Amino acid sequence: MINQLVQSAAKLSLISGVTLLSSLTPVTKTLALSTEEVVKTLKIPVFVVADEKGKPLVGQFNTKDKKDKKAFIYVFINRNDAKTFYNNLKKKSPDVIKNSQVVMQPLGSVYQTELSQSGKPNSILFLYIPEKQQVEQAKKVSKDAGHPYKGGVPLFVLTSVKNKGYLTIKQKDHEVIPLFLTYDKMKELLSKVKKEKPELAGDLKSDVIPLEGFMAKLKNSNDPNLTKFILVPSEDSIRAVREAEAKFKGAPK
């Protein structure tokens, strides 16, 4: 798992020159995207509170009619938010989190677990917790884009005003469409566009889509163009991956 996340973080941090703008052209395909294709697209780190075996901590809340309880798992995008939740829970209910800790997992693995729960009568609800600072930025960006922020984990993206398409960039030998988990990372790319392709910069605007909606689209769509999207994690998440790699390499064999 560590190597998978490290390779992903390294790849996503190597974003380079802007090439062109293009919209996603619908492609006829009889089958939906495979789980493998979806998991590959969701190769970023997220953080959960889990036991020594890596099993996430499961909570419960009352349903609206208060006649039943619903199980849930918190999935944090920001590791500091996960640590804060863990520390607060440790003070309030130390027995609940005995032998537990904050662990990093690939979003793709969480997706597979969530998928395995789908349709079951007592399925677990996965609640994705966004970083508060990014939510505030998402509200501003959504307002400027002409629509309200409807909640969820915000993904920031650069789009074309003229053709409503997404900004694509060259990454190694192919083109990808970056979706940023942090506003600052998106701004970095926009600054790069202004320097390298100033003629494109004036046609670009920022927008926000929810991670949960994007994941649902991957699950239910048959458009292979969706695999052109890459999720770009925060610098702190990349740092967390590299710290985990260093710890893994230094562990006794």
Please check whether residue 153 lies inside any domain of the structure: yes
Q: Is 109 in the same domain as 19?
A: no
Q: What is the pLDDT of residue 215?
A: 94
Q: Is 122 in the same domain as 135?
A: no
Beta bridge partners of 206: 158
Q: Is 118 in the same domain as 137?
A: no
Q: Is 71 in the same domain as 121?
A: yes
Print the domain residue range for 87.
45-129
Q: Which of 109, 129, 149 is the last residue of a domain?
A: 129
Give the list of residues 6+ apart from residue 90 with CB closer than 8 angstroms, or none: 97
Q: What is the pLDDT of residue 3?
A: 55
Q: Is 138 in the same domain as 237?
A: yes
Q: Which of 129, 151, 173 is the last residue of a domain?
A: 129
Taking the chain (253 residues) in consecutive chunks of 10 residues, what is each chunk's mean pLDDT?
A: 52 43 40 83 93 88 77 95 95 88 94 87 91 97 92 93 82 84 93 85 90 92 86 91 81 60
Please check whether residue 21 lies inside any domain of the structure: yes
Q: Which secondary structure element, helix H or strand E, spans residue 137, and what is its range?
A: helix 132-145
Please check whether residue 9 lies inside any domain of the structure: no
Q: What is the pLDDT of residue 121?
A: 79
Q: Is 236 in the same domain as 144?
A: yes
Q: What is the pLDDT of residue 8?
A: 52
Q: Which of 94, 129, 164 is the last residue of a domain?
A: 129
End-to-end CA distance of the chain: 16
Give the list of residues 6+ apart from residue 89 with CB closer than 8 angstroms, or none: 49, 96, 97
Q: Is 135 in the same domain as 226?
A: yes
Nearest-CA neighbor of 209 among 244, 179, 245? 179
Q: Is 122 in the same domain as 137?
A: no
Q: Is 30 in the same domain as 136?
A: yes
Nearest-CA neighbor of 42 among 215, 167, 207, 205? 215
Query: pTM of the entire structure?
Result: 0.86
Q: Is 102 in the same domain as 144?
A: no
Q: Which secondary structure element, helix H or strand E, spans residue 127, and what is its range?
A: strand 125-129
Q: Which CATH number do you get for residue 188?
A: 3.40.1350.100
Q: What is the pLDDT of residue 5?
A: 55
Nearest-CA neighbor of 155 among 217, 98, 223? 217
The structural domain count of the chain equals: 2
Q: Is 23 in the same domain as 73?
A: no
